[in-house]
Amino acid sequence: METVPSPSDSDPAAGHRLFCFGLGFSALALARRLKGQGWALAGTTRSPEKATALAAEGIEVFLFDRDRPLADPAAALAGTTHLLISIAPDDLGDPVLDLHGSQLAALGGVRWAGYLSTTGVYGSRDGGWVDEDSELRPSAARSRRRVAAEEAWLRAWRDQALPVHIFRLAGIYGPGRSMLDTVRAGRAKRIDSPGQVFSRIHVEDIATVLQASMAAARPGRVYNVCDDDPASPAEVTAYACGLLGVEPPPLVPLEEAGLSPMGLSFWADNKRVSNRRLHEELAVELAYPGYRTGLDALLAEGY
């Protein structure tokens, strides 16, 4: 597991409390790593059952969604030094800012805040490269909502001095959520779409990037979070099948693949995402720089 220095050289955990709006896959990878380093952890979920399970891990959990604001936001957020937002915007906007923006603006002592967005904000480039300075051309409604949410969080930085950083995540995979699992479940497809490429990122590398940013905060900065090897989905499927010793599924045209409208929407974008900034500014060396190393490691770890 890749690690980076924590913000305090003498005692990395002293006085540090991470609050995650949305204790999902990516947020929990970071939270569990920091818990091992002695940080205080807190965050939100929509599920009472998940809240109970996470509380058993030593995480302070609060119920939250658009229709259920934090019952006592002052108490829930007290002592927060680092803030992570991994809740997607909805049709009305960003629920965290809408419901608790004023409390966050008044919250003293926040040294770093991260907003998890998506590389979907770039739209399609017909296989060409994008970086953090590229024009945003979202093609899907959910990606347009992400652009609006990014702008809202950056306004919170400019107007309220909240130390916000934007992280645009590529396709996320990791333990229990990879092409290996899809192949085992018999749901793998190899879609024949010449020239189509996607970028990906292992969940543990997301945690590495976030922790590196905490150690070298630059409020207002935007980072693409992806590996070094954009690749076609068919190639990744074939590689996973090879690791598992099964025959790859046949290539099928996109229009014959039987994808849901949501699934089809992901294929509307075709681009290569540059991660140069996270390497150069944050000095991050990815533990899984491509899908091969990531899938190899997952299989070796029993996933």
Q: Is pLDDT of 257 > 90?
A: no
**Would you tell me the crossing angle of helices 95-105 and 141-160 to the nearest 10 degrees?**
10
Q: What is the pLDDT of residue 11?
A: 54
Alpha-carbon distance 52 to 116, whole Å? Answer: 25
- Structural domains of the chain sorted by starting position, each given as residue range(s) with its CATH number in brackets: 17-173+201-229+272-288 (3.40.50.720)
User: Whose structure tokens read 């990815």?
Assistant: 286
Alpha-carbon distance 268 to 126, whole Å? Answer: 10
Residue-wise pLDDT for 129-141, tens only, equals 999 999 999 999 9
The sign of the CA dihedral 288, 292, 298, 302 is negative
The strand pairing partners of 219, in sequence order, are: none
Q: Is pLDDT of 266 > 70?
A: yes
DSSP state of 135: P
Confidence of residue 297 (pLDDT cuts 50, 70, 90): very high
CB 129 within 8 A of CB 272: yes
Q: What is the pLDDT of residue 260?
A: 87
The pTM assigned to this predicted structure is 0.94
The strand pairing partners of 200, in sequence order, are: 171
